[in-house]
Every structure is written in structure tokens, then in C-alpha cells.
Amino acid sequence: MEHEKIDLLLNPESVRKILTGFIRSEISRVGYTRAVVNLSGGLDSSLTCYLAVEALGAENVLTLLLPYKSSTSDSLEHSEMVINALGVQSLTIPITDMADALIGRFPDMSRVRQGNIMARLRMIVLYDQSEVFHALPVGTGNKTEILLGYTTLYGDSASAINPLGDLYKTQVRQLAKSIGVPAAIIDKPPTADLWVGQTDEGELGFTYEEVDQLLYLLVDQRYKPEDCIQAGFSESFVSTVIERIRRNQFKRLMPPIAKLSNRTVGYDFLYLRDWGT
């Protein structure tokens, strides 16, 4: 695709300082000292572990490895690389039996349904272990997937705090490189690993490199669609992405409450989470 080169470079030291400070502040101010992270062996969760360890210390971070029977061996190997490099505690809890107990009842279940069940089971284990480890679950979603809605609602989207949610995937890659995430993890094709051969870019139909540049113009720089087309992006790509952003807004909000009273949560009962801390 021929379009202007859009600069998504970041200063890793500055971003690292803000994000580790964020993790430390938002966990400690509610009385916790520890974090738990679901580690898939992919880029986002690996970087999240590195940041959590830098913020809280390795002894205060628990990583969970939650493989399903179809998970690739890469996922576990790469997770082990992160665990060994950081010296964090880890717990492996296969989700196959739990998932298959439900999946087995519906022989025609689609891949998407199965994938959502896996993502939501991983959320259940994450929150359950957070109680055992006295920790807050740290999310791993990035800005690209949040905007595109490429996430399972109440599955991988669920967490107590989300350090990477304002970084595009290509920026996550830069930060990961600078912080020392192993190259094997940075260089492999991103995948949710919910079924064999799945890749993000294959499923989305475009590359992160391309979509991040378009999202940056649309969202960060407030370009009109026609300005994006003028900048060299194809009309169909621009409209596909805009529609994806709109259609997935529901994943980015708490469910709307039907307003009846004079003061309603979400409308005119307004407090930050950090209220009183």
C-alpha cells in the first residue's frame, strides 16, 4: 500500500518509566503489592511481565500458563524463556478439561465459540489465582486490538489495570525490544493461538504495520476518512477499519444502565477508581 510513512516511534525509557510507575501506583494505592499475569508466550503478555517485574520485583509477580490441548509448543517454550529470564513464579494449569466439558456438549461448536470459551476460562483462572496470590490481575491488551475489538469480552479483555492499552502493536514491539524481551517472541507472527494455524494478521486481513498507521491518523490525529484516503490508504481499508472501530465500541464500555433515578451509576455518579486513595 502506497501511503505517507507515519512515524510511530516512541522513546522507550520515557514510556517504560510511566508504565512501571503506573503499575506500582495503581496496585499499591489499593493496598496490594503483587500482580498476576496470564502469560501466553506472545509479545503483549511477555512485555507485560517484564514491566510488572520492573515495577514490583520478580517475587511479587505470578505468571500463569494456561494451555489448551491445541496450543502450540511455541507458546509454552516462549513462556518458559520469559519465566527463566525474569525469575518469576509460574503456575501451569491446563484448561483442556474445563473447556472440553462445555465444548463437548456441542459437537458443531464454531471455532469462535471455542476460542471465546478458552479466553473466558483463562480469565476465571486469572481472577481465581489473584485471590490466592493476593494480587491484582494485570491485563495485556494493546491499543490496536482494543480499537479493532480483536478481543474476547470478559475474556482476555478482563483485568484490574491495563498498562499497554494506549500503545499500538508496533509500539509494543519497539518497547519489548528495548526492554529485552527475547527476539523469538518479538519476531514471530502474533496469534491468539485459539486454533491451529490462527494468526492475528491472517484473521484480521491486514498487517499491524498497516492498520496501526491508519489508526494513528484516524484516532490520534483526528483525520477525516477522506484525508486518510488522500494520505494513500485505500477506500475499502479505511471504511473496513472505521466500521470495526464503531461496531466494537460495546467491548470498550461497561454495560449501559437504564436510567430511572436522579443519580445513576455511569451517568451522574462520577468518581475515579482511585477515589480516596
Partner 1 sequence: MKLNLAIAQISTHLGDVNANLEKHLDLIRQAQAKGADLIVFPELSLTGYCLQDLVPTVAHKPVQGDAVFKPLLEASQYIDLVVGFVDEDRRHRFYIASAYLSGGRVVHIHHKVYLPTYGLFDEGRFFANGDTVRAFDTQFGRMGILICEDFWHASPPYLLWLDGADLLIFTSASPGRGINDQPMLESARWVEDINRAYASLFTSFVLHSNRAGYEDGLNFWGGSTVYDPNGDLVSRSAYHEEALMFTDVDLNQLHRTRARLPLLRDERPILVLHELQRMLGFGQPRKAAK
What is the total count of residues that contact partner 1 (CB under 8 A)? 27
Q: In the complex, what is the shortest distance from the CB of residue 238 to partner 1, in angstroms, rounded to a whole number?
A: 24
Please select the residue that binds partner 1; options are 1, 21, 109, 247, rule is CB under 8 A: 21
- Residue type present at position 121: L
Please select the residue that binds partner 1; options are 14, 73, 236, 261, rule is CB under 8 A: 14
Count Cα neighbours of 107 within 13 Å in the Cβ-side half-sphere. 0
The verdict on 254 binding partner 1 (CB under 8 A) reads no
What span, in angstroms and rounded, lies between the C-alpha atoms of 142 and 151? 10
Please select the residue that binds partner 1; options are 7, 110, 197, 261, rule is CB under 8 A: 7
- 154-157-163-164 Cα dihedral, nearest 10 degrees: 180
Under 8 Å between Cβ of 93 and 65:
yes
Please select the residue that binds partner 1; options are 254, 258, 260, 272, rule is CB under 8 A: 272
Rg of the chain's alpha carbons, rounded to an integer? Answer: 19
What span, in angstroms and rounded, lies between the C-alpha atoms of 55 and 53? 5
Name which of 106 and 267 has its Cβ closer to partner 1: 267
H or E stretch covering 211: helix 208-215
Q: In the complex, what is the shortest distance from the CB of residue 191 to partner 1, in angstroms, rounded to a whole number?
A: 27
Under 8 Å between Cβ of 197 and 74:
no
The verdict on 13 binding partner 1 (CB under 8 A) reads yes
Please select the residue that binds partner 1; options are 18, 101, 112, 132, rule is CB under 8 A: 18
Strands (E), the chain: 34-38, 61-65, 89-92, 135-137
Interacting positions 155-184 with partner 1 (CB under 8 A): 162, 165-166, 171
Interacting positions 27-86 with partner 1 (CB under 8 A): none
The verdict on 22 binding partner 1 (CB under 8 A) reads yes
Interface residues with partner 1 (CB under 8 A) are 7, 9-11, 13-15, 17-18, 21-22, 25-26, 162, 165-166, 171, 268-277
